Amino acid sequence: MHRKYIAVTGLLTLIILFAGLFNLLTSLNHKQTTQLINETSKIQKVVQQNKNQQTQVFASKQPNVSAATTQLDKLFNLDWTLSDQSAFDARAKAMTPFVTEDVVKNSLDFKPDPDKTMTQTGVSMTYDHMDFLPVSASNEEVTAKVVVFAKSRLKDAPEATTRYVYDVSYNPKNNKITKLDRLGNYQLQSDSSVL
C-alpha cells in the first residue's frame, strides 16, 4: 500500500512538473509570437510611410506621370468593372470623356460586342489594380506600358485574375488618354493547387 502511494505521488509529481514546464514553454512562445507580431506591425507601418513619402515625392517631381496614372486608373475601373452585358455595352460611353476621338475609333476597348459574350458566358469582372511602367514623360506626352489586373468570376468556378497589357499615351495639356492599345492578356488561376 505504501509503495502504491509513493508511486502515485511520484507520478502526480511528474505530471505536475511536465504540465508546469509545458505551460512555461507555451507562455514563452506566446510572448515571443506577440513580440514578433508587434515588431512586424511596426515595420509594416514604417514601410507604408516610406511608400507614401516616395509617392508624394514622385508626384511632385513627375506631376504629368502622376496625372496619367490617375486618369488611367479611373478609365480602367470603368473598362474592367463589368457585372453583366449591359455594363459591358455601356462602358464605351462612360470611358469617352477620358480619351481622344482617335482612341474611341481605334481602341479594342471601345468596340461593340455583337456576340453578347458576357451574357453567353455568365462571367463578371472587377478591376483590381494596374502596374504603370512609364517609358517617357514630358510636358507634351507621357507614354507607358500598363498591366491591368482584373478579377473574373464564373458561377461556381474559382476566381481568376486576368492581366491585360497596354501601350498607352497621355496628353497632360488636355488631360486625355491619346493611345490605348491592348497588346494581349493572360490569365492566372487563384487556386495554386492547379499550378
- Using alpha carbons, select from 166, 170, 169 the residue that is nearest to residue 149: 166
- The pLDDT score that the predictor gives to residue 160 is 86
Helix axis angle, 85-95 relative to 63-80, nearest 10°? 150
Half-sphere exposure of 48 (CA within 13 A, CB side): 6
Question: Any idea what DSSP says for residue 158?
Answer: P
> Rounded to whole angstroms, how far apart are CA atoms 143 and 68?
9
- The pLDDT score that the predictor gives to residue 43 is 73
Cell of 52: 507614401
> Rounded to whole angstroms, how far apart are CA atoms 156 and 42?
39
- The pLDDT score that the predictor gives to residue 7 is 61
- Using alpha carbons, select from 113, 73, 75, 118 the residue that is nearest to residue 94: 75
- In tens digits, the chain (195 residues) has pLDDT values of 555 656 666 666 767 766 665 666 566 666 666 675 677 677 777 767 766 666 565 555 688 999 999 999 999 999 999 988 999 999 999 999 999 999 999 999 999 888 888 888 888 899 999 999 999 999 999 999 999 999 988 877 888 888 999 999 999 999 999 999 998 766 555 555 544
The region that residue 158 occupies, defined by phi over 0 for left and psi between -120 and 50 for alpha, beta otherwise, is beta
Q: Are 170 and 75 in contact (CB under 8 A)?
A: no
Other beta carbons less than 10 A from residue 18's beta carbon? 10
pTM of the model: 0.65
Other beta carbons less than 10 A from residue 167's beta carbon? 14
- The pLDDT score that the predictor gives to residue 21 is 57
- The pLDDT score that the predictor gives to residue 195 is 45
- The pLDDT score that the predictor gives to residue 68 is 94
